[in-house]
Amino acid sequence: MANSNLVKTCIGIDTSSSLGSVCVYNQKKDIFTYVEREGFDSHSKFLHQIFEEALTKAEVKVEELTNIFIGEGPGSFTGLRIGFAFCKSLSQVLKIPLTPISSLSAYTAFSSSPTIVISDARSELVYIGEYI
């Protein structure tokens, strides 16, 4: 991944859990993250709003985006469909790459040490990821 476009102006979106999140990285400002806490059924209602708010707070115009990252789960099937539909449409309209990443590995993005991530899978189950 030596492509310099990967770090210019990126957005990451994850709707795999009950928390919908949008993260913007750009070289003008620090990372900006917005988390929506309404639950799975609200992703379709609020994703476009938190997307716009994240870009505004990060002082980034949608045309400046060079890459989109989407959390591919594991997680809620409905939440994943909403996130993928939004991101795929955005990717096609802007003609920029869409890169799926493990939602569990996203938790380790800024960790330099081995990490175990445990996420509630509901119905008394958990998702577990070990990242070394």
Express as a percent the part of the chain with pLDDT over 90.
Answer: 32
Report the predicted TM-score, pTM, of the whole model to 2 decimal places: 0.80
Residue 103 predicted with pLDDT over 60: yes
Average pLDDT for residues 112-132, to the nearest whole number?
A: 84
Check if the beta carbon of residue 36 is closer than 8 Å to that of residue 21.
Answer: yes
Average pLDDT for residues 103-127, to the nearest whole number?
A: 82
pLDDT score at 20: 82
Task: Identify the sign of the CA torsion 75, 77, 82, 84.
Answer: positive
Span of 7-16, 32-41, 73-82, 108-117 with lowest mean pLDDT: 32-41
- Residue 8 pLDDT class (50, 70, 90 cuts): confident
- Residue 31 pLDDT class (50, 70, 90 cuts): confident
